Amino acid sequence: MPASPERRAAGAGVSPGAAAARRADPDRFLCALFLPQAAREDAFTLIAFNHETVRALGGMQSRAVAGPMAGLIRLQWWREIVEGAGHPHAVAGPLRALIAAGRVRAETLLGILDAREAELDGLADWPAWRAAMLGGAGGVQVAIAQAAGVTDPDLLKAVESHGAAYGAGGLVRHLDIVLASGRCPVPDSALAEAGLSGDAIRDGATLTPDILRGLRAALCREGAAFLAEAGRPRLPRAARAAGLPGILARRDLARGAADAPVGFAPRGLGDRLAVMAAMAFG
């Protein structure tokens, strides 16, 4: 019988949480390795939690069948866990322990769930999209910063903006795959300009290269605005590590719409070295 992922991780000297985080989210896993050692396992738990919230957004190809209800039910299940319910799940116990110990604020995790629900309901315009990106991708990095002991509101705001920029950059890189999966994390107003709608995307509408290029250009603009809000101060070590996805965002957005890879291409050496250099030199 093949060994479970948990046993394989233990045999390789890697914790089950680290193995799950690396498998689910290699970018955030890489960045989490630069956190203070005491916060790394907490970060892996938060990365796994975020992965579960994103999974709830999948399978939306036809609103005619079930609409967003299945995803909303799944997100409500996680909301109950954050609020203390004892639902069984490998991530639930460590997550509840983080909240109970005061290492992560429940409000931050609920904000991530609010952002996912907003996407399921449909993001009307760019202000709604920005709010969802700050609460979602930004909220993940804020939670990781909190677990690392960051409490200063200005530092957390900078980390949030870096996380939101990373979310925008991720969409630039993978927009074709994300939309083809039935997810629609772009504003209805932007789709309308291209003659589309969220329902059309979920029902498998054909996306031309010109449409994808236009959407990517808009996402690059919004991601750059998040980076500008974050500024470029030399952050303290824990906050710097929590904000490292912003380095990947800067590179993804700089490559722009024309250089977006096909599918989920792995990170190149240059991206990984940029993260290391940012951590070393601020």
Say which CATH number the domain at 143 has. Answer: 1.10.600.10
CB contact at 8 A, 30 and 272? yes
Q: At residue 32, what are phi and psi to the nearest 5 degrees?
A: -65, -25
Count the domains in the chain. 1
Question: By C-alpha distance, which of 147, 193, 152, 125 is closest to 32?
Answer: 147
Segment 17-57, tens digit of pLDDT: 899 899 999 999 999 999 999 999 999 999 999 999 999 98
Terminal Cα distance for the chain, rounded: 47
Task: Say if 79 falls within a structural domain.
Answer: yes
User: Two tokens at 201?
Assistant: 């995307």
Domain membership flag for residue 18: no
Instruction: Report the pLDDT value the prediction gives residue 70, as an integer from 0 to 100.
Output: 86
| pLDDT the model gives residue 186 | 93
At 229-253, the pLDDT tens digits run 998 778 999 999 999 999 999 999 9
- Residues 6 or more apart from 223 whose CB is under 8 A from it? 164, 165, 168, 169, 172, 249, 252, 253
Which residues of the chain fall below pLDDT 50? Answer: 1-13, 60-64, 262
Domain that holds residue 92: 26-281
Q: Is the dihedral of CA 252, 266, 196, 63 positive or negative?
A: negative
Closest C-alpha to 34, from 265, 236, 237, 247: 237
- What's the pLDDT score for residue 232? 78
Is residue 13 included in any domain, yes or no? no
Q: Which tokens sit at 32?
A: 């989490």
The distance of Cα 4 from the centroid of its chain, to the nearest Å, equals: 26
What does the pLDDT read at residue 51?
Answer: 95
Q: Does some domain include residue 44? A: yes
Asked whether residue 2 is domain-assigned, the answer is no
Q: Within a domain: residue 202? A: yes
pTM above 0.85, yes or no: yes
14 occurs within a structural domain: no
Residue 188 in any domain: the answer is: yes
